């Protein structure tokens, strides 16, 4: 069903509303192979709502979403799952199972016949675990893992699905800095190795500026900025979106967005 003439993902005049609030207004934007997009914005700006809509789990107020140039409504669920993988924000393991079996669940779109996993499916699962340095966890009970470890297993499961479009809602939550960077490095390699696209929501603007190629900054009022990450996540635009003044500091080749120093009044009442 796919065609290389179209972006992996695109929005066409997409409008999202929650109650009386408009979160996204008339967004038309392609998301192309080889790109890593950070969806940024303050709490409540609409990041999770947008990702759910892009995944086809929520209907927009207007407009539509396309995968490979085909509207989501025209995809069969199994075929769509072969092209699009989703990692939701809340990772909850409801039953006892090995980490390997949890990751193998995401092979469902590729199963045939009686639905038993093949050797290729097991290779895909072990490869995904290796990409996140989780090989030693394969036999562990997922319920014995910490929140951060479960988060990494959930990302491995999404990679195991081998869909070229990956939608990740707060994939770095619960992770320490070391594992945040390791996950972002793995995603960078995953995109570079094939014609793939990643969209992820992220609160750390500096990690986004370092690892994302593009950014979509939501203001929570329907407006957004989209484009190359360093053109979008500027001090001025981020300050407006987050409601707090930010400054861009530089140290040689390194840059960081930090809260601006508050102005102090040195005068004292006599």
* Per-residue pLDDT tens digits for 120-157: 999 999 999 999 999 999 999 999 999 999 999 999 99
Which one-letter DSSP state was computed for residue 84?
E
**Taking every pair of C-alpha atoms in the chain, what is the biggest distance, in angstroms?**
86
Q: Give me the phi and psi of 80, to 5 degrees please.
A: -65, -40
The pLDDT-based confidence of 269 (bands split at 50, 70, 90) is: very low
pLDDT digit string (tens) for 24-77?
999 999 999 999 999 999 999 999 999 999 999 999 999 999 999 999 999 999
Torsion region of 256: left, alpha or beta (phi above 0 gives left; psi -120 to 50 gives alpha) = beta
Asked whether residue 260 is domain-assigned, the answer is no
DSSP string, 215-259: EEEE-SSB-EEEEEHHHHS-HHHHHHHHTS-EEEEEETTEEEEEE
Asked whether residue 123 is domain-assigned, the answer is yes
Provide CB contacts within 8 A for 136, sequence distance 6+: none
Asked whether residue 239 is domain-assigned, the answer is no
- Of 16, 66, 65, the closest CA to residue 45 belongs to 16
CATH number at residue 142: 3.40.50.300
Asked whether residue 256 is domain-assigned, the answer is no
The pLDDT-based confidence of 267 (bands split at 50, 70, 90) is: very low
Asked whether residue 103 is domain-assigned, the answer is yes
Asked whether residue 242 is domain-assigned, the answer is no
**What pTM, to 2 d.p., does this model score?**
0.92
Q: What is the pLDDT of residue 122?
A: 94
Give the number of domains in the chain: 1
Asked whether residue 222 is domain-assigned, the answer is yes
Q: Give the domain range for residue 105.
A: 9-232
Q: What is the pLDDT of residue 2?
A: 42
Asked whether residue 264 is domain-assigned, the answer is no
Average pLDDT of the residues of the chain: 92
């Amino acid at each position: 069903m796919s065609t290389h003439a179209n972006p992996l993902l695109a929005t066409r005049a997409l409008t999202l509303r929650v109650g009386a609030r408009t979160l996204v207004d008339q967004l038309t934007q392609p998301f192309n192979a080889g790109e890593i997009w950070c969806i940024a914005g303050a709490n409540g700006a609409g990041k999770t709502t947008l990702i759910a809509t892009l995944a086809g789990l929520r209907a927009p107020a207007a407009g539509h979403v396309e995968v490979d140039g085909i509207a989501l409504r025209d995809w069969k669920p199994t075929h769509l799952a072969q092209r699009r993988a989703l990692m939701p924000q809340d990772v909850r393991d409801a039953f006892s199972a090995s980490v390997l079996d949890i990751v193998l669940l995401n092979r469902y779109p590729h199963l045939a016949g009686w639905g038993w996993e093949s050797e290729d499916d097991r290779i895909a699962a072990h490869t995904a675990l290796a990409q996140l340095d989780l090989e030693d966890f394969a036999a562990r009970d997922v319920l014995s893992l910490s929140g951060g470890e479960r988060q990494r297993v959930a990302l491995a499961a999404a990679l195991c699905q081998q869909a070229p479009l990956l939608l990740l809602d707060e994939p770095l939550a619960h992770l320490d800095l070391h594992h945040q960077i390791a996950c972002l490095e793995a995603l960078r390699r995953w995109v570079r190795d094939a014609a793939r696209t990643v969209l992820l929501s992220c609160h750390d603007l500096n990690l986004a500026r370092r690892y994302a190629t593009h950014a979509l900054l939501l203001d929570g009022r329907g407006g957004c900025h989209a484009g190359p990450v360093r053109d979008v996540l500027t001090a001025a635009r981020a300050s407006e979106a987050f409601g707090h003044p930010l400054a861009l500091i530089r140290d040689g080749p390194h840059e960081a967005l930090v809260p601006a120093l508050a102005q102090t009044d040195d005068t004292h009442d006599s």
